[in-house]
Each structure stands twice: as C-alpha cells, then as structure tokens.
Structure 1
Amino acid sequence: MFGVLKDSDKRFKNLLNGDWVGSESNQFIDIYSPLDQSLLGSVPAMTKNEVDITMATAKRAQKQWKLKTVNERADILYKAADLLLEHIEELAHLLMLEIGKDMKSSRSEVSRTADFIRFTADSGKNVSGESIPGDSFPGFKNNKVSVVKREPLGVVLAISPFNYPVNLAASKIAPALIIGNSVVLKPATQGSLSGLYLARIFQLAGVPLGVLNTVTGKGSEIGDYITTHKDVDFINFTGSTEVGRRISKLTSMVPLLMELGGKDAAIVLEDADLEMTASQIVAGAFSYSGQRCTAVKRIIVMESVADELVQRLEEKIGQLKVGNPLEHESLDVVPLISTKAADFVSELMEDAVEKGAELVTGGHRTGNLIEPTLFDYVTTHMRLAWEEPFGPVVPVIRVKSKEEAIEIANESEYGLQSSVFTQNIEDAFYIADQLEVGTVQVNNKTERGPDHFPFLGVKSSGMGTQGIRYSIESMSRPKATIINLHR
C-alpha cells in the first residue's frame, strides 16, 4: 500500500497531482534515525521550478475542490481517520524511528490525529453563515439583506515541525480541506517521512488529484521561495520563533497562522496541593524529553513552599523512565532529536552551574540522551531562566510574592501558556488575568489539548488562533451577497 512512496534504494517521492514523483535535480536529503543513526530513507531536494509546478497544480485543483459539498469533503476525512487507525502500528513504528518517540507515545499521536480529523469533519459540516437585515442599521430601510457564507482562501501552505510530524501536519491539512482549500505540505526535514506517509493516507482516502501535494527540500534553497510564492494564499506554520519571524518579515498581504516557541511557566502559590502540583509539573516538563512547545519550561514558586516542592519534584523525576525507544516500549525521556539540540541544552546547563544554580538531580549526558534535570536557585541572570531548551531540563525560580511571579513570567519574550497552582480561585483568576499568554492552565500542566479548545500564543509565541473551529475560520473568509429589494 505504501510502496509507491519510495524505490528499492529507500529514496522517497513527493505527492504531485496524484502521482508519486522524484525530483528533476536527482538530489536527495538523507534522513537518519536519532536512535541509532541508521539511514531511514532519502527525500527529494526539490527545485524552485518544481515548487512552481506544485503550486500551479494546487491552484487549479482548488477551483474544483471548493465546489464539492461539505458532506463529500467530510466523507474523505472520515475515511482518512479510519485508515490512520488501520495502519497505526506501521506509522507509529516510523515515528519512533524518525523522531525518537517511544512506541506508546507514537501510537497516541496517530490515534489522536484520527480523532482530530474526524472531529474536523464534524465541525466542517456545522459551519454556517448568516443573513443580516439592512434595517437593523440606523438610516436604512428594510430593503436590503446580506447573505453571508464562508469561502475558502485558496492554496494553503502547511509547514509542520519535527516533534509531531503526523498530528501537527494533519491539524493544518484537515481544517484546510474541509472548508475547500487545497494544501501544499512542507514537512520538517526530520519528520518528512512520516509526513509523506500521512499524505498517502489522505490520497488513499480519496482526496482528488492536486488537492493535496507535498514538497521536500533544503530550506536554504526553497524555504524563502515557497513562503513568498505568488500562488500561496495562506501560511500555517509550526516551528521555531526564529523561522516564524523570518516568514513574517518576508511575506506581504498573506495571512499567517503560526505556533512558535514557548517558555511556559508553572507558578506555584503557598496553598497549592504540592503532591498534585509536582506530578503535573514533572509530566508536563519531561514527556518526550521536553521537546514540546507546551512543555513546562520553568517553575516559579513561592519561597515558603519551595523546599518541599523541590523535594517532591526530585522524587518524581527519579521515577521517570529514561532510555532508547528501540529497547523499551514506554519511556518519558529519550535521546534528543540531534546532536545540535543536545549541545544547546548542555550549554544552558553549564551556564546555570557557572552562575551558581544548584543541581538537584540529573545533569548527565550520554550521546544525545540527557537525564531529566532539575536546577534550584536559578536567577534571572541565567540563560536557563529565559531561553527555551527544548530538552529535559527545568529551572526552579524562587519568589516572595504573586506580583514578583507575574513580573518574571511576563518578562519573557514568549507568551504561549502558563500554569497556576493554587486552591484559591480568586488568586487563580487574578494571576490568569495578569499573565501575557494565550492560555492559562489552573492546577494542570501546560498542554495543547483538547483540540477543539482555542490554542494560541502571543508575543514571540505565535499569531492567530488554532483549535478545530478556529483553524477552519482562520483558513476561510466571510463572503457577503447583498440582496436589494426595489419596491
């Protein structure tokens, strides 16, 4: 079923107008597993000319796709969700090999994606317009009616990240398709094999020729070109703040929906249930080695309860499962995605030690596997207080008041999520109202789901609002037809 994706030499192909094709450059990018450095396959390094062909194909196909009924489009999404579950083991195994996620988490990503696609189909069928009488505005008679419906934008460029290459590709593709857009998927290089498998799932589900296409290649050669292409009508990007800023600067008059970096804070007040708080923080900080935008990345705790919290955190960190997914079915901390990523985390830890932070637990590195690490007495003069490690290391910052906690939380350039742990609902709402983030979790770890909730970042953490209904609305626009009654 998936044999069309690659040839006998593990050279993968791209989906273009319903066919799986190589690249005219005959150049490929090798994809190695972060677990054992084995060669998993190679993806085509597409040229600018091939980008032009892909975009033109998507533009033509969209004109017919938008004419399909929403029920027809929804049926295809339902089929894609079913196919994902039918092939969950195969795709989960590829996820494990390509991005180093343990099998349990890989299966969870695939099943969650199926749920996302199915809910998107349901939501798309409930998108409705409105009629607005003209006489509801002062000075107008009852001789005009505006009939408003939602229209697709056209060609959506979906750029997905390495850490959730199936879920965060589907979260762009499904809402775009259900409202009538065509899609060009540009997966992260590490994660592109999983992205191509997902595209094959949608193709098998019945997505018409040219409605979904894929592009792989070197960002240095086609990255800027594809994001500024004249046929792109919308860009949905998940990735680093650095790249997000570049896309924002390069584009003009093209709407953007971006989820970028985060430095999510867990604020712990004196009356917090420390046992529950420690459990939530550890789960939120170290799952998939902290390689998540919504991972808890700093703990801001009241001085009076800091000692006890740190003790409980240390105990729970010691219970985490650490290792290589090739050897264990279920793990919390796995090797980081690359040596570059592990080197950066090591730099942040070294800086913290040099500037006086106290290493509570962890701190050791074997290859790209870094032990779950907790630092206490981290100050605002340390890089770890501000920079996003995207790894299994978390700082504890002690404060004396709610106001100091809010100030430090808001001083970050990021504004994705924060958590507040307290048993006082008034304090929870007071702090939530002051925090400059897209979402505040009360007595829970920072996290993305449920997927129909609004999900957004402010400041350097993104722009626009995701979440199934919100994504559909973002990738469509109102169109008004005004009926004039002459009496």
Structure 2
Amino acid sequence: MSRLVNEAKSAKQFLMINGEKVEATNYASLYSPYSGEEIAQIAMADKKLTVQAIDAAYNARGVMAKMPAYHRADILEKVAALLKEKAIEAAEIITRESAKPIMFAKAEVARTIETYKFSAEEAKRIHGETIPFDAAVGGVGRMGYTLREPIGVIGAITPFNFPMNLVAHKVAPAIAAGNTIVLKPASQTPLSALFIAEIFEEAGLPAGVLNVITGPGSTVGEAIVEDDRVNMVTFTGSPNVGIGIRNKAGLKKTTLELGSNSALIIDKDIDIDQIIDRCIMGAFSNQGQVCISLQRVYAHEKVYEEFVAKFTEAAKKLKIGDPLESDTYISALISKGEVERVLGLIEETKSGHATIAAGGKLQDGILEPTIITDADHTLNISCQEAFAPVVVVNKVGSVEEAIEQVNDSRFGLQAGIYTNNVRNALYASQELHVGGVMINDVPTYRVDQMPYGGVKESGTGREGIKYAVEEMTELKLVVWNQS
C-alpha cells in the first residue's frame, strides 16, 4: 500500500473551496466497509460553507467561460497524465473507502484516465452550425449560426459505487465546456473526489473552478439544488432522491442517472459456455453495486437448465474476502444497512416458489454471490433495484415473452440479449423500452464515450462526454441581416 494512503489514515480531510483547504466545525469518522477500521475524519460542511463554495464557483465562472479551448484541453490532458502516474495510489483509495476489490478499482482508474482524455478531446470539438435562412421566404438576405456557451455553475452530486470515474463523468465535461463546479461526493467515498481535486490543482486549474464539499446530503445537497446561482444539477443516485431534486430544481437543467434492475435475455440458439464469464462479471463485479448490474436473466426454456447449472457453478468459485487482495472478486457491501436490506429481499423470496440456487447468506459478513430461480416478477428482489450480488434467473418460452417481462418494470436503463437470430436481435432493439440495448452482451457494458442514460425511473438526460457537454452548454442563435 502506498505511503500516501497510509498517511491519510484517520487524518482530517478538509473541504476544497476556491483552491484552498477549508476547515469545518464538525468532522465525522469514515470507516472501511470491509474491516470497520477508521480511515479518516471527514469535514461536515454546513449551509454557510456550501454557499461559500457556490460563491467561489460563481465568481470563477467568467474565467472559465473565457478560457480558450486548447487551455481547457491541456488541463484535462495533464489530469489524465498525473492520474496515470498515481494509478496505484488512486486504486487503493477507492478500495479502502468503498471495499471495491482492487482488481475492479484498478479498472476504474484506467477508465477514469480515459474519461479525462475523451474530455480533453471533446473540449476542442464544441461547435454550433449554420442555418439556411433562405429556406424560408422571410429569411432571404439573412444568415445565421448557433454557438454553444457554458451554462455556468454546475452542482454535481455523485454516488459511492464508482467514486472516481463517476466524478470524472461530471467534472470533466463541465470543465471541457467551460463551466465551474460544486461537487458533493457520496458520504462513504469522499477521498477519491478530494484526491482528484488535488490533481486538478496540480494540473493548473484556476482557483474556484472545482470546489469539493463533503457532508450530509440533507444540508449540502439541498443548498446546491436550491441556490439560484447554480445553473444545472447533475446527479447519480437513487430514484427517490433524484425525483426530489427534480421537484426542487425549478428551471434549473437537471441530468439524473437513477436506478435500474437491468435484464438479459438468452435465446435458444446460444452456446452457454461462451457467455458465462460475461454474465458473472455483469452480475457480480463490484458486489453488484452497479447501476447496470445484471439483476434479471430470462433464459429460453431450451437452455435454461444448462445456464442455471453453469452460472451457479461459476458463481460458487468466486473468491470472497479482503478487497485489497489481488484475486478477491467479492467483498463487503457499502454498509451494514445495505446488507440487512438485501438479506430482507432474499428472505422474502422464501415465502413463494423461488429457489436459492447459490449464496443467499453471509460469509464473514460478506454476502455470497446469490442466484435465485423461479422468482415471481412481482417480488421486490426482481422489481426493485437490488444493488447487490443477487441475480434472478427465470425461464421463458420465447424472446417476445422475455421482452414483455423486461419491459414490465418501472426502470429502463440498459438491457441485453444474446441471440444468433438477426430478426430477434432487431426486434429486441426496437421493442425493449430502455436507454441502451446491448446485442450479444450483458446490460452491464459501458465505455465512457457512449451516450449513457435511461427512461422511466432510470432518469433523464445522457452522460458520455460529448452528450454531457451538450447538456452542460446553452445553445445561442446569432442572425445577421445582410440587406
């Protein structure tokens, strides 16, 4: 483990406001979800300190709006380079504060570096278009074009499950577009955000552009959402909180990445051996604490028994334990409260005809990878977001039946289908009511430049750098009268 990570243990972590570390009146202990040891003392901002951070972002917005594109790109490139140099340290921070197994933490850091690189490139590609005014009788003698201008101050509220890359998905396009940011990271994973803020400072980001405010959502989040100087709120988290933000945001633009119970359809013509490893990754990486984690599988009756047997066998081989060990695949959920919630969902299935084919219990405080079969789709384990290493596998007679089951959900983030039948693939791409359809892959697939977002209670707006930049800019029309 790196010297810096060890030195941070139990140390006070301050707020980052206007390029300076700022003390708070109160601090809260941050504990490892795996070991229970105290990691750090985290500053708890009050409303006054949050407003101070918004002041800093508001006052810096002119500097960022006038900063040339090449300069914004250069800062983001430097962040990517610095993070690459500190990749091991960054991964260890993620693992310590979230219990994400180190193999997945390293992958997250690699993706985060890519996200900053994509953003540096996108900073140079922000442009409008010319409008053919003479296409209208009243437009003869006029020419016009559009510009994309930064929206101003962006309030970003991020979750615990990807504490570095989901921060990047909000901070990086905001800077690429010339905005300033007030960032509230998840209470359990503030260290990753503070670490990135220091890297931005080292990369030459002007003071006040990125402000990191730790503390309770009821205080910090509310102040960000309610302040009229914040022009946009971008949030990733639970549907209940997201809907509350939308209701309070007024005319502010909002991008909301909310929950899901992502599903996979397996057609009758699939070689099951070829898809097991992907299904294991989709269901159990990061303990299933992924918005697009594979939670529901609808397997055709001709391959159902084979899939359940091989999927179960593979799940039972996954190593459970210390997240800092290189071969650990499953470690602790983010909190004991989450463990109790998920155990309650599993217990509910026992009242019906469902079968627990694997897992369903704790091993040294860690929830085993759990596979449940024959669960009624009205059970909470199926229709709610589990956000845990739990998968429900059910039998269907056709792709049409499977699609009907997938769509019978209040969520619609991503879905996948494995099939060798082109007609079924096209039908699924048209009929699945989700934000993204993965053909011959699990719904957990994501690369950082693609448009990412959902329908229904899975949210509004899209992330993915180009698409986030569009959300984070305003379109201005300029018309010249040449007569």
Cα displacement (A) at 1:2:
11
Residue 19 (structure 1) aligned with residue 20 (structure 2): yes
1:116-265 pair list within 5 angstroms: 116-141=115-140, 143-265=141-263
CA distance in 1, matches of 2:329, 2:258: 23
CA distance in 2, matches of 1:413, 1:57: 39
Residue 447 (structure 1) aligned with residue 444 (structure 2): yes
Residue 460 (structure 1) aligned with residue 461 (structure 2): no
CA distance in 2, matches of 1:382, 1:427: 28
> 2:30: which partner in 1?
31
Cα displacement (A) at 1:126:
1.7
Residue 363 (structure 1) aligned with residue 360 (structure 2): yes
1:369-384 pair list within 5 angstroms: 369-384=366-381
Residue 64 (structure 1) aligned with residue 60 (structure 2): no
Listed one character per residue, the Cα deviations across residues 295-342 of structure 1 (whole Å, up to 9, x for unaligned) are 10011122232111111111221232222214x213221111100111
Note if contact 1:292-1:390 (Cα within 8 Å) is conserved in structure 2. yes
CA distance in 2, matches of 1:432, 1:132: 33
Note if contact 1:34-1:336 (Cα within 8 Å) is conserved in structure 2. yes
Residue 427 (structure 1) aligned with residue 428 (structure 2): no
- Aligned to 1:245, what secondary structure does the other structure show? helix
Cα displacement (A) at 1:364:
1.9
Q: Decide which of 276, 279, 283 is 1:278's aligned counterpart.
A: 276
Cα displacement (A) at 1:278:
2.6
Listed one character per residue, the Cα deviations across residues 163-217 of structure 1 (whole Å, up to 9, x for unaligned) are 1111000110010001110011100001111111111111111110111111111
Cα displacement (A) at 1:381:
3.7
- Aligned to 1:28, what secondary structure does the other structure show? strand
> 1:353: which partner in 2?
350
Listed one character per residue, the Cα deviations across residues 144-171 of structure 1 (whole Å, up to 9, x for unaligned) are 1112111000001111110111100011
CA distance in 2, matches of 1:290, 1:432: 25
Note if contact 1:355-1:382 (Cα within 8 Å) is conserved in structure 2. no
> 2:52: which partner in 1?
53
> 1:84: which partner in 2?
83
CA distance in 2, matches of 1:406, 1:264: 12
CA distance in 2, matches of 1:49, 1:413: 38
Task: Could you tell me which runs of 5 or more consecutive residues in structure 1 were left unpaired when the two chains were aligned.
Answer: none
- Aligned to 2:108, what secondary structure does the other structure show? helix
> 2:400: which partner in 1?
403
CA distance in 1, matches of 2:364, 2:383: 25
CA distance in 2, matches of 1:385, 1:109: 27
Q: Decide which of 401, 406, 414 is 1:417's aligned counterpart.
A: 414
CA distance in 2, matches of 1:427, 1:7: 53
- Aligned to 1:78, what secondary structure does the other structure show? helix
Residue 385 (structure 1) aligned with residue 386 (structure 2): no
- The two structures have a TM-score, normalised by structure 2, of 0.96
> 1:317: which partner in 2?
315
- Aligned to 1:477, what secondary structure does the other structure show? strand
- Aligned to 1:206, what secondary structure does the other structure show? coil
- Aligned to 1:321, what secondary structure does the other structure show? coil
Q: Which one-letter code corresponds to 1:284 in the other structure?
A: G
Cα displacement (A) at 1:36:
0.7
Note if contact 2:213-2:220 (Cα within 8 Å) is conserved in structure 1. no
- Equivalent residues, number: 480
- Aligned to 1:222, what secondary structure does the other structure show? helix
CA distance in 2, matches of 1:485, 1:463: 41
Listed one character per residue, the Cα deviations across residues 43-99 of structure 1 (whole Å, up to 9, x for unaligned) are 211111112221111011011111010001110000011111111121211111100
CA distance in 2, matches of 1:271, 1:9: 55
Task: Could you tell me which runs of 5 or more consecutive residues in structure 2 were left unpaired when the two chains were aligned.
Answer: none
Note if contact 1:2-1:200 (Cα within 8 Å) is conserved in structure 2. no
Residue 10 (structure 1) aligned with residue 17 (structure 2): no
Listed one character per residue, the Cα deviations across residues 273-293 of structure 1 (whole Å, up to 9, x for unaligned) are 222233321210011110100
Cα displacement (A) at 1:439:
0.5
CA distance in 2, matches of 1:450, 1:121: 16
Listed one character per residue, the Cα deviations across residues 427-450 of structure 1 (whole Å, up to 9, x for unaligned) are 011022111100011111122522
Note if contact 2:279-2:294 (Cα within 8 Å) is conserved in structure 1. yes
Cα displacement (A) at 1:267:
0.9
Q: Percent same amino acid among aligned pairs?
A: 35
Cα displacement (A) at 1:458:
0.5
Cα displacement (A) at 1:221:
2.7
Change in Cα spacing, 1:319 to 1:366, as seen in structure 2 (3 Å) is closer
Q: Which one-letter code corresponds to 2:42 in the other structure?
A: V
Cα displacement (A) at 1:7:
9.0
- Aligned to 2:318, what secondary structure does the other structure show? coil
- The two structures have a TM-score, normalised by structure 1, of 0.95
Note if contact 1:376-1:396 (Cα within 8 Å) is conserved in structure 2. yes
CA distance in 2, matches of 1:437, 1:229: 33
Note if contact 1:373-1:394 (Cα within 8 Å) is conserved in structure 2. yes
> 1:474: which partner in 2?
471
Note if contact 1:417-1:438 (Cα within 8 Å) is conserved in structure 2. yes
